[in-house]
Chains A and B, each alone.
Chain A
Amino acid sequence: MTTTITTPLDSATTYISRSHAVAARELAGEMMIMSATDSTLFSLNETATLIWNAADGKTSLRDIVENRICPEFDVEPETACRDAEALVTNLASLGILELSSQPAPART
Chain B
Amino acid sequence: MSLITELNRKALDRGVPLSVHLDVTYRCNERCEHCYLDHDGDGEMSTAEIKSTLDQLAAAGVFFLTISGGEPLIRPDIFEIIEYARSLRFNVKLKTNAILIREREARRLRELNVEQVQISVYSHRAQVHDGISKVPGSLDRTISGIRLLKAHGIKVTIANVLMKGNLDDAEGVRQLAKEVGAHYTLDPTITPMMSGDASLLRLRITSDSLRTVFNDSNLVGNVEEFCAPPTAVDEGALEGYPCSAGHTAAYVSPWGDVYPCVQFPLTCGNVREQNFLDIWKNSPQFHEVRGIRGKHLTTCNSCSHLGSCTRCPGLAWMEGNMRGPSTADCEKSFIRTGIPTANMLNRGFSDAEAFANSVPQQLRGATRTLVQISPAR
Contacts and interface: CB of A to CB of B under 8 A. Distances in A.
Interface in B81-138: 86, 89-92, 113-116
Interface centre among B3, B62, B86, B115 (most CB of A within 10 A): B115
Interface stretch (A8-16, A19-27, A81-89): A19-27
What bracket does the count of chain A residues touching chain B fall in?
10 to 19
B287 interface: no
Nearest to A36: B113
B115 A20 contact: no
Contacts of A26: 61
Contacts of A42: 3
Interface SS of B by simple majority: mixed
Interface SS of A by simple majority: strand
Nearest to A41: B3
A43 B3 CA distance: 8
B11 interface: yes
A106 interface: no
Nearest to B16: A27
Interface string A24-38: 111110001010110
Interface residues of B, number: 24
B132 to A, nearest CB: 29
Contacts of B155: 39
B14 interface: yes
Contact of A27 (B11, B89, B113): B11
A49 to B, nearest CB: 13
B63 A36 contact: no
| 4 closest Cβ pairs, A-B complex | A23-B91, A36-B113, A25-B63, A24-B89
Interface of B: 3-4, 6-7, 10-11, 14, 16, 18, 58, 61-63, 86, 89-92, 113-116, 153, 155
Interface of A: 20-28, 32, 34, 36-37, 39, 41-43
